[in-house]
Amino acid sequence: MGTELDPVAAARAWAAQDPDEVTRAQLEALLARTDAGDPDARAELASRFAGRLTFGTAGLRGELGAGPLRMNRVLVAQAAAGLAAYLLARDPHPSVVIGYDGRRNSAVFARDTAELMAGAGVRAVLLPRMLPTPVLAFAVRHLDTSAGVMVTASHNPAGDNGYKVYLGGLDHGSQIVPPADAAIQAAIVDAAAGSIADLPRSDAYETADDEVVDAYIRRTAARIGDPQPLTVVYTAMHGVGWETASRVFAEAGFAQVVSVEAQQDPDPDFPTVDFPNPEEPGAMDLAFATAAAHDADLVIANDPDADRVAVGVPDGAGGWMRLSGNEVGWLLGWRAARRVAERNIDHGTLACSLVSSPALGVVARKEGLDFAETLTGFKWISRVGDLLYGYEEALGYLVDPDKVRDKDGISAAVEVLGLFSDLRAAGTDFAEHRAAFADRYGAFASGQISVRVADLARIPELMARLRHDPPRAIGGIRVERIDDFAGGFGQFPPSDILRYQLEGGSRVIVRPSGTEPKLKCYLDTRCDEGSPEERQATADAALTALDEGMRALLT
């Protein structure tokens, strides 16, 4: 069913094919109110049928509810049928592995996908239970399937869900990129021309056994060589990470990890956090309280589908703080560079997204490795040639490209545990390690400003204002150059991104979020002069100035 001008007619057609009692009842109630002359009900129908969620390089993601601009069983069935048609057109014997997390309707959407894939003639393998996204990404390569589907909205609010697609074969298990996204979207639109009730279904799909999970756990745990005793607190943030992560930690030699019990089990309501995202203020408060009670060495937090990881450390004043995604990123990059040097490997690439700190590029150049900067998203980072390690500042880290071609919050957690274990074995601590990094590569500081909007039209207005009236200085720091990616820039295709290069090596990047109604600003500073402590103080002071300056610009 394509987009229709009359929302009432579109809603009636949608309700007639909807197999979900809840979303069908939503539409029937709105239709009854519309028939009675309620203008608010008609406006609500219009908001749900004014278009459809577009299948892009992040797949589908949106609020649960009835209609083509929401996530529901009709939309997922159309997506599954379109993806099946795409796979059948490129592979005579296609296959797909399907995973799901603990959000509302995730298991239902996954089973619908398995039945529709099997009905279309695609070999479908459903993972045995709710599992982290990295296990699904691993399974695409491990089972050598043509594609993978993960039903998850990652760290989005509780009312959302999503549908993420990976491709096997020559894509090596990476997420889709153009032109595959447009081709899949076109196939979905074709599938939506009819009723999902007419789509063939079959229960002849396979259910994977635990071998795939066991293989992921073995491979991930093997990254630790000589574990030292550490007191670690872990939170799954009400997601699906604990079962898999706890087994990995135990096999790696960290059997005494303390779980934040209130956030340990999957709960689609995410009752203890406003947003189930470790980046959000307050999201790690329970973990920090648990860490204080256990006199812990560090805190590890996964997001709900465990593809991201946050790290908390003592702040030196009796409290706890979360390390920035960039600091974890450049420290793990340094660790990756040291590992290949120890193995006498003289080639390889460190990669990060455009909006991540420039520190990783400094590490790569200093250590004689290649460096690549990509557009945001692991769909791009994972495709970098000769990749050793990649990260993006939004708590995503790819530490084992031969295993998973996506960010992996459990493997990255193991790398963090390995780092702290190595520091303990060497008789040093994290503060000294930080200072050693600043001494070798310079000190860096990074921050972020997110402007959340209720009206999406506000975002292009803000971007237009920044383009038409560009600042000459930000926070008192002179702007030396403005890079506008709107028409393409260097190797990057046209993108709605502005980058300000400032005096002294500081940098500001502004772009709309790809998954949330936000305008995001990325702030980065650096200093190479003085002692490590002086360098860090200078970088931190410049970051404060940039933060104040950008907030003034955006208000």
Q: Is the distance from CB of 278 to CB of 322 less than 8 angstroms?
A: yes
Contacts of residue 426, Cβ cutoff 8 Å, sequence gap at least 6: none
DSSP annotation of 261: G
Tell me how far apart the alpha carbons of residues 406 and 396 are, in angstroms, rounded to a whole number: 9
Place of tokens 């635990």: 210
Establish whether the linkage from the previous residue to 179 is cis, with ω within 30° of 0: yes
**Maximal CA-CA distance, the chain:** 76
DSSP string, 169-192: GGGTTEEP-TTHHHHHHHHHHHHT
Q: What CA–CA distances, in Å, run from 164 to 76, 92, 305, 511, 542?
A: 11, 23, 12, 22, 38
Catalytic residue set:
154
Tell me how far apart the alpha carbons of residues 10 and 134 are, in angstroms, rounded to a whole number: 38
For the chain, give the number of residues: 555
Q: Is the distance from CB of 43 to CB of 22 less than 8 angstroms?
A: no
Give the type of residue at 116. L
Burial of residue 462 (number of CB atoms within 10 Å: 0-12, 13-18, 19+)? middle
Within a 10 A sphere around the Cβ of 470, how many other Cβ atoms? 13
Nearest to 211 by CA among 115, 146, 124, 138: 138
Q: What CA–CA distances, in Å, run from 217 to 19, 390, 544?
A: 37, 21, 41
Contacts of residue 448, Cβ cutoff 8 Å, sequence gap at least 6: 393, 520, 521, 522, 523
Strand order in the sheet with 473-474: 443-452, 518-527, 507-512, 498-502, 477-484, 473-474
Tell me how far apart the alpha carbons of residues 59 and 409 are, in angstroms, rounded to a whole number: 20
Nearest to 171 by CA among 361, 380, 332: 380
> Strands 232-235 and 206-207, how do they pair?
unpaired
Give the type of residue at 7. P
Within a 10 A sphere around the Cβ of 303, how many other Cβ atoms? 30
> Strands 387-392 and 349-353, how do they pair?
parallel
Intra-chain end-to-end CA distance of the chain, in Å: 42
| H or E stretch at 106 | helix 106-120
CB burial of 524-547 (b: ≥16 within 10 Å; e: otherwise) equals bbbbeeeebeebbebbbebbebbb
Tell me how far apart the alpha carbons of residues 147 and 140 are, in angstroms, rounded to a whole number: 6
Dig out the tokens for 405 from the structure: 């071609």
CA angle 10, 200, 72 (to 5 degrees): 40
